[in-house]
Every structure is written in structure tokens, then in C-alpha cells.
Structure 1
Amino acid sequence: MSGFDWSSKKGAASEVYTRDDFDPELQTPEILAPRGAAPTISKEEPGSWMPSTPDGSTRASEANEEKAITDLDFGWRPWKVVMGCFCLIVPSYGLLSSIGLFQTKWEQYQLHGYSKSDISWIISIFGFSGCFFAVPCGILYDRYGPRLLLQVGSTIYVASFIGLAFSTTYGQFMACFVVAGISVTAPTTVGFTVVSQWFKVREGLATGCVTVGSAIGGIFFSLVLQALFNRYEWRTGVLILAGIIMVFMTIGNLLVERNESQQTGAETGDGWDFTALMGMSKSPKFWLICVSIFAYEMVLFSQWGSIPSYAVSTNFGDKQFYLMMTYNFGAIIGRTLPPWLSDRKLGPVNTIIIMNIFTMLVVLVVWLPFGAMAVPALFVVTVLMGVGTGSFVPLGVQCVSGLCTSRTIGTWLGFVYMFSSFATLLGNPATEAILSQHGPRALVAFLAGVLVLGLACMVSLRFVLQGGKWILVQKI
């Protein structure tokens, strides 16, 4: 379901509220009461949509939920789009989740004269560019649809890796990854955004199936990079990598399409306006979700870059490849099971709070005391962190999509991830600096502090969405 399913202990039948029940200008529900009753319309900022009815009932009826499934969630076209989006995420976020192997390769060979912190900036700029430029991609998607945006972005992304194959200096590596980061925002923005226009009740599961491409891609590209770097010289290996990326991007371009009934403003230029942007910027919900995803992206990106370095610093350097594989296996669970629970029982906000607490417990109870003591303990930590941090991306996207309309989801996601781009910029160098200057325990404590920030903001968002009340048992 696109919108959050609000529940209470009292009341009779009420409607299922989805993103399409919203007025495109006010972004508030047009129908907030059962049929025959006077609707209550909130004229607040985007995302301020607490459904309320005259009898106080907000429980969704099973019949309406089944109707919502029938309308959009069934059929081959929605799942074709999911498969296409999956193919877009595998060579983008999937490659990014195994990017630490590039860093260790450069440290040993091409850039062995540079410090780890200097080399980590290349990876950080890649992640930063991939999030920061999501804003123009999101706006273009809302106005004109995904087709041309996807074609141009995919082509430049493949070309950047062809250029990387012929690079030999620090500046050339940096330039190629800047171009790759800017261009990859097109397929990732489309991949995360278009799915929400094809699903309602099963949006969380569908988004999870898309984002699991990151974990599967991480496993796949870890194996591919390991084989290419061991068997071929740099240029040949990276050219083969570019060919693999091109295959995935081509399949994604062929399978992805927009939902015409949902993206009504596409290609006419009517799907976005400045009023929507101003309303979004004034919303406390927007800023709370921004800070939460900022924290989650910092932890997530730090994991991708720091696991190999952490293994080396704790004298387990020969296990770094297997640790990355283990992390991505855990992330497969994190990107599928929590979104499924979100759809069926809990709602995205509740689920992401639970996963935040779970990840904090892993950090404080397992990783901090035992992570540096033995290889088995570090493997347990890695797979559990994969489960916890792996859930943040699909649940975060689902939370954002529930706070906006189908016509402005690209803009909302773009600005949220632009804000979080600074986490990807600072996360890897910060963790490398902490690791080298203060040791592995200080790094773990830093990650725990960032998770506390994310939890505080997400709990505050839940409180605001409940109208300043705290209702413990409520799907939201």
C-alpha cells in the first residue's frame, strides 16, 4: 500500500487511503471519511495526512485492501517493471556495495603511494555524486517520465567505466568515478521511484525485491572483481566489467516503463511545480525523514567501505573478501523480510524503527565486545549487520513514498537523497580516519552514535504522524 494504514481500537469500516486519494496541489487526502460522511481535509504541508473520520475510526477494511491489490498489484506488467528495476540496481548499488575491493586493489598497486584516507575519497565522491544529483533526476522524472533519462544515464555510466579502464593516475580515477556517480543517479532514481507507481498493498515487498539487487549485485560483483583482478591486467579486467554493466543496463532499459494512470503529468511538464517544493521544504516530516536517512546512509556506506579495512586492522585481512560476501548474504534477508513484514503487519515506520534497534543491539552487544576477538565473531557481526542495514534502503524508500503523492515522489526522493549524499561523502573518510587514529572499537562506537540519531528522528516522525500522540499498537 502506498499510504500508511492507520489503525485504532474503535470504529467501523473506513477507506484504504493511498497516494492517489490526494489533491495534487495540497497533497492531502481528498477522502478521509467513510462514504456518506463529510470528509475532513487537512490543509497542511506535504505529508501531513493523518486520516480522521467523524466516528474516530481509521481501520482499513479488508475488502478495500483486496480491491487495491486487484487494481494494481496483480498482473505481469508490474513484476516485469520490478525485474527491470532489479537489473538497474545490480550494476549500480550492487557494484557500490562491493566497491571496497577497488580500494584495496588501488592501495596495493596503482595508488600504493597514497594514504588509505586519500584513496577512500574516490569511493566517497562516487557515493556522494550518486545521491546528490538525484534532485535533478527526480524532478525530470516527475515532469517527463523515465525513458530518455534512463537511456542517457545508463550510456554515460557504462562509458565512465570504459574510461576507468584506461586510467592510471589518482586524478583520472577520481574523474571517472565522479562521472559514474553523476550518471548512475538516473537508473537508481528510476529504479526506486517507478515501482511505487505499480504497487499499493505490496509496495514494500516490490521495493524490497528491487533493492535486493544491491545485495545480490554485491555478491556477484565481489566474485567478478576477485576473478578479474586475479586473472587479468587492470585494463582488460575493467573493460570486461564495463561489458557486464552494459548488459544489465540494457535489460533494465527494455523492461522498465511508467504507469500511465499514475504518472499523469509525465511528458507534459505538469507533474511538478514550485509550490510542491516549497510545501515539502516547510514540512517537519520531510526534515525528520531526511535526517533519519542521512544516518542510515552513513552507516550503510561506512559498512561497504570499512569492512575490508576493519578486517585488516584486526589482523583478519585475509578474510575481507569472504566478509563482504557474508555481509551481502545478510543484506538479502534485510531487503526482503522486513519490507514483507511492513506490508503485512507493521507498516514501514514501525518496521524501520525495529530494524534500527536491532542494528544498534548488534553493534553494542555483539560487535563492540567481541568483533575484534575472533574470526567467527566477526562473521556473525557482519551477517547481522547485513540484515539490519540492508533493510534501511527499501523501508526508507517506502516511508518517503508514503509522505508524498505519485506525481511528486521523484522530487521527494531526490531531495531526501541529496541531503543524505553528505553522509556518503563523509562516511568512508571519517571511518577510515577513526579506524587508523583511534582503533576499531572507536569506529564501532561512532556507528552506534549515528544509529541513535537515526532512531531519535524516526521515533519523532512516528509521533508527528500520529498527530502528537503516542499509540503503541498502530500500523504506520
Structure 2
Amino acid sequence: MDGLQVVNSKVSLQPAAVCRHPLLVSASHIRLFVLYFFGTGLIASVCDRRYSPNRISVLNSASRRWSHVLNQEKRDLARTPVWLPRSAYVRLMTSPSAGRRDSEKAPKSHDDSQSLAQQPAALSASAAPDGGARAWLQVLGGFFILFNSWGIFNTYGAFQTYYEQELFPSSSASAISWIGSIQGFLLLLVGSLTGPIFDMGYTRVLMIVGSFLMVFSLMMTSLSTQYYEVRACCKAERCNNLRMCPLPQAFLALGVTFGLGSGCVFVPGVAIVSTYFNKRRGLAVGITTSGSSIGSVVYLSVFHQLQPRIGFPWTVRVMGFIVLATSAVSIAVMQRRIAPSGRRRLFDAKAFAELPYTLFCIGNAISFMGTYIPFFEAPAFAAARTSASPTLAFYFLAILSAASTLGRLLPNFLADKTGPLTMLAGCATATGILALSWLAVHTVGGFVVFCVLYGLFSGSLVSLPPAAVASLTDDHSRLGARLGMAFALAGFGLLIGNPVAGVLVDLRTGEFWKGIVFNGVAVLAAGTLLLAARVAKAGWSPKAKV
């Protein structure tokens, strides 16, 4: 573990890597506390009685020895960090050598030093449990975090269709799509900004605050339909009474508040799981990230089945209660195993001096700009351009999300052999070609095939970028800052893409071709830039694993 080195039952602490916790103190603090109070009590009890000159000499000798003990404890205390991680504190107090000074510890034999040389110097990824109940509970907790955060975001296509047809029929698709775009933008941006807070040890605080904001967001979204001026206000050309207009309320509740909450829990959800696994890390992370697609399918089904029966307000509240229950599981079971060696930097200017990384960041941002357009517009397209029933049109979004589950697992498995950046460039190119083929879709069967293939290839555009950044980073101590910068730029791409597509889509006439062309060209351009980043890093050789 960073900050704690275990060698033959000896514990050495590295103050640069410890995690500050206001409730935990070192062993020297406790020994000094106990010795002080017991020692002063003993001296007071002796001085309180009659004593002879012999007792005075005994007391003076005891006082000198007592002063020596206190000075030794103070010297030990000066060499010990004030705050310790909980796991380090437990190991320190239970270690056989915890109560002995360095001078009192037995020297190691030559055989012991040879055996210890084969052990890792610190508790690292190689010492991960790689299984067990506690490790798989972290996978469960991370699964539910992505189930709620990305699952609700991937469900926004259902909200978009309902807002367009029922709640805000006179508002443009572009205006309504800003709600989902700001939600995804804040999810990525806040997720990158909360990295240093996570490094400081406030994991549970982030999860509690984020879960509260997500539940609060959905409850406030359900209240926006209780104002009886909803239709009249939105039909007006200019809305002068913002307090009674539900569009700003939906933007603040479902867009801003939910984006802030999901951004707070995003980093713990993906960072904790990887520290518990080594050999099976790919499987564990794959199961965790599949929560986003499975959550989308579940929330879409809940929305479609309950909204006609109990209405929009109570449907959204039921979704909020699901978020509350599953978030409680994550808060209860998730616990960080190791502390980082230091605080993560938010910005690394030297990274953009490297051409491969710069090309990747631009390509990744353009990829997020176009990838999610079908997830926002698929139900409206199916209803307007195919003969699908309203029920089937709604479930095209669920088909996209279900296929995306495989798209997040299978390419990650293949990327271990080809390299993550190579696989990402290929999947982006295939996704762009599929997006342009959307122009030829006019039947229900054709749209089903398109949704399956598009979800299969586009899923990798979300799951592979972290591994691609790692392959472009030689110094992994800078990996956290680079990941944060890449996802922050991707958030800006996500913020821009869907509103632009909404402007290009005309719901009144059913014209979608402009938005489809924008989708395909954007993802194809992203694939070209990602391929350029791969060539700049390793050349044209297909054997290079990047």
C-alpha cells in the first residue's frame, strides 16, 4: 500500500503518502497519552502520603526514569505521521513490533533478507485480493453507481420524447436536448474535478453527497408538472414568468442537479474496483461498466410501463426511490483499499506537448460530440420515419442500450491483444460508417439491425478511452491528471453535440437526415484523429500494441 510498507512484521511509514483522517492517531500518541496520565497519577499518589528520605530518593529516581521515557516517546512521536489510514492504523496496532523501538527489534537473518527481497516493497496492485467477498462487493457497489449515473443519462431519450410530445410540444428539440447535454457534461467535468477530493480520502462523503443530489434531482423533476400554467407559459413566444415555467425547472433539476450528483459518485465507482483486482481486473471493470447499459434498460422499462398508468410525476419518483435503494448499497459496501501516493494534479500542461495525446483528446471529444445522437433521437425517428407502434418506438432505445452492454465487454477483451487505441480507432470508424448508413433505414427491421450494430460498436467509445490514455502515458504517476483532462474535454463535446443535432432535426416535418449526417461525419472524424494518434505513437506497424 502507498504510505505503508510491511516487511517481516515491521511497519515503516511514508508521510508523503498517508491519508489524513481526523479520527485516527498514531500508536505513539496513544502510548504517550497512557503513560502521561498513569505516570502523573502515580506520582501524585506517592506525594500525597507520608514518605521517608528513602522514599524521596526512590521518587527522584522514578521521576528521572519517567522523564527519560517521556522524552523517548516524544522522539518516536516526532518521527511518526500524525494521521494514518484506517487499515494502516489497524496493522500498526496489531503488529508484533508495534510496541518495540528500533533498537529493541531482533536483527533479521540472511535467509530472511533473501526471502524478503522477493516480496513487493509496498502493498501494490500485485497484492490485490483478486477475489473474495469484499472484492466482489466493491464490484456490486460500482455496478450500482454506474447503474444510476450513466443509466439515467442513457435514459434521457425517453425524457426527450415525452417532453417533445407531451410536456413541451412547442419547444424545439434543440432546447429540450440541452437538459440531457448539460447532465452528461457535468457528469464528466465534475467527475474529473472531484479526483483530488477522492485522493484526500473523502470517498464516503462524495458518495453520500452525490447520491443525495441524484435522488433530490429526480424528486424535483417530478414536481415540474404540478403547475397548471405549463402549457400556456411554454406556448408563449417569450416566457416572462420563469417561476411558473417548467422548462428552466427541468433544466436545473434533471440537467444541473443530477449532473452534479452523478459526477460526485463517478470517480469512486470506477477507481475503487480496480484496486481490488489484478489478474481479473478486466472482468471486474467490465462488469462494473456494464451497469450503465443495464441501468438504462431497467429505467427505460420502468418509465414506459409506469408512465401511462400512474403518470409522469410518480414514475419519476419511483425511479428516484430505485436510485435511493441502490445507492444505499454502494455507500454501505464500498471502501477504498489503498491511498494514492499523492494528490492528483488537475492540469498537466506538458501533456499537450505530446502529439499523440493531443490528437487523442481532440478525437475523443469529437467522438462524444456525435456518439450519443441516436440515444437522444431514436424513439422520435422510429415514430416518425418507420411504421413502428409507439410502444416499439420507445423500446428502440432499450435495444441500443442492451447492445451497448456487449459493446463495452467484447472490445475490451480484444483490446488486450490489439492494443486499446488501435481497437478504439477501428470501432470509431465502424460507428461512423454505421451512422451514415442510418440514412437508408426506413423499416422497422432495418432500424432494429441498425440499433443492435450501432450499440455494439459505440459501446467501446465509452469503455476504451481510459485504457487508451494509459497506453499513451509512459509515466503513470501522471495518469490521473491526463484522464481528467481527456474526460473534461469529452464533456464539452457531449455538451455541444446533441443541441446541434437538435437544431438540425425538424420534428414537424420528420426530417432527420441533417442530424444523421452530422452524427456520421463527427464520429468518422474522431476515428481519423484516433488513428492519427496511434500512428504518431507507434507508426504504421500493425504489430505495435498501443
Q: Percent identity?
A: 25
- Are the structure 2 counterparts of residues 69 and 180 from structure 1 closer, same or farther at C-alpha, using a change threshold of 3 Å? closer
Selected match of 2:171 from 114, 119, 124? 114
Query: What secondary structure sits across from 1:222 in the alignment?
Result: helix
- Which segment drifts farther, 115-124 or 68-77? 68-77
* Larger-gyration structure (1/2): 2
Note the 1:247-266 alignment, pairs <5 A: 247-260=325-338, 263-265=339-341
Deviation at 1:176, TM superposition (A): 0.5
Deviation at 1:350, TM superposition (A): 1.9
Note the 1:203-214 alignment, pairs <5 A: 203-214=281-292
- Are the structure 2 counterparts of residues 339 and 145 from structure 1 closer, same or farther at C-alpha, using a change threshold of 3 Å? farther
Note the 1:23-422 alignment, pairs <5 A: 71-72=127-128, 74-76=130-132, 77-144=134-201, 146-168=203-225, 169-177=246-254, 178-260=256-338, 263-265=339-341, 270-273=342-345, 277-316=348-387, 318=390, 319-343=392-416, 345-364=417-436, 366-369=437-440, 371=441, 373-404=442-473, 409-422=479-492
Matched residue, 1:11: none
Deviation at 1:243, TM superposition (A): 0.6
TM-score normalised to the size of structure 1? 0.77
Q: Is the 8 A contact 1:189 1:410 kept in 2?
A: no
Deviation at 1:415, TM superposition (A): 2.1
Deviation at 1:450, TM superposition (A): 1.1
Note the 1:415-434 alignment, pairs <5 A: 415-434=485-504
Output one character per residue of 1:37-60: Cα deviation in whole Å (capped at 9) or x when no partner: xxxxxxxxxxxxxxxxxxxxxxxx
Output one character per residue of 1:165-189: Cα deviation in whole Å (capped at 9) or x when no partner: 2223111111112111112101122
Output one character per residue of 1:77-122: Cα deviation in whole Å (capped at 9) or x when no partner: 4433222111100111111111111122222332233222222222
- Are the structure 2 counterparts of residues 122 and 220 from structure 1 closer, same or farther at C-alpha, using a change threshold of 3 Å? same
Distance 1:472 1:191 in 2: 34
- Whichever residue aligns with residue 72 of structure 1, its letter is A
Distance 2:336 2:288 in 1: 15
Output one character per residue of 1:180-239: Cα deviation in whole Å (capped at 9) or x when no partner: 111210112222333343444544433322221111111101101112211113332222
Q: Is the 8 A contact 1:124 1:426 kept in 2?
A: yes
Distance 2:203 2:139 in 1: 14
The answer to which structure, 1 or 2, has the higher relative contact order (CA under 8 A, 6+ apart) is 1
Distance 1:416 1:143 in 2: 22
Distance 2:449 2:425 in 1: 22
- Which segment drifts farther, 329-338 or 126-135? 126-135
Paired positions, count = 398
Q: Is the 8 A contact 2:196 2:345 kept in 1?
A: no
Distance 2:312 2:350 in 1: 49
- Which segment drifts farther, 305-314 or 437-446? 437-446
Distance 1:316 1:132 in 2: 39
Distance 1:403 1:203 in 2: 20
Distance 2:326 2:286 in 1: 19
The yes-or-no answer on 1:473 pairing with 2:529 is no
Distance 1:407 1:135 in 2: 16
Matched residue, 2:517: 445
Distance 1:127 1:171 in 2: 17
Deviation at 1:438, TM superposition (A): 9.3
Q: Is the 8 A contact 1:94 1:218 kept in 2?
A: yes
Matched residue, 2:115: none
- Are the structure 2 counterparts of residues 363 and 105 from structure 1 closer, same or farther at C-alpha, using a change threshold of 3 Å? closer
Deviation at 1:377, TM superposition (A): 0.6
Distance 1:232 1:438 in 2: 30
Output one character per residue of 1:244-293: Cα deviation in whole Å (capped at 9) or x when no partner: 01112111222322231xx333xxxx32247x723334443432232222
Ranges in structure 2 where 5+ consecutive residues have no aligned partner: 1-16, 18-123, 226-245
Note the aligned Cα RMSD (angstroms).
Answer: 2.6
Q: Is the 8 A contact 2:199 2:340 kept in 1?
A: no
Q: Is the 8 A contact 1:137 1:414 kept in 2?
A: no
Q: Is the 8 A contact 2:151 2:291 kept in 1?
A: yes
Matched residue, 2:239: none
Distance 2:313 2:541 in 1: 58
Query: What secondary structure sits across from 1:155 in the alignment?
Result: helix
- Whichever residue aligns with residue 286 of structure 1, its letter is Y
- Are the structure 2 counterparts of residues 367 and 103 from structure 1 closer, same or farther at C-alpha, using a change threshold of 3 Å? closer
- Are the structure 2 counterparts of residues 412 and 201 from structure 1 closer, same or farther at C-alpha, using a change threshold of 3 Å? farther
- Whichever residue aligns with residue 377 of structure 2, its letter is S
Distance 2:273 2:476 in 1: 11
Q: Is the 8 A contact 2:277 2:284 kept in 1?
A: yes
- Whichever residue aligns with residue 454 of structure 2, its letter is M
Deviation at 1:152, TM superposition (A): 1.4
- Whichever residue aligns with residue 153 of structure 1, its letter is G
Matched residue, 1:456: 528
Output one character per residue of 1:1-25: Cα deviation in whole Å (capped at 9) or x when no partner: xxxxxxxxxxxxxxxxxxxxxxx9x
Q: Is the 8 A contact 1:330 1:386 kept in 2?
A: yes
- Whichever residue aligns with residue 75 of structure 1, its letter is G
Query: What secondary structure sits across from 2:252 in the alignment?
Result: helix
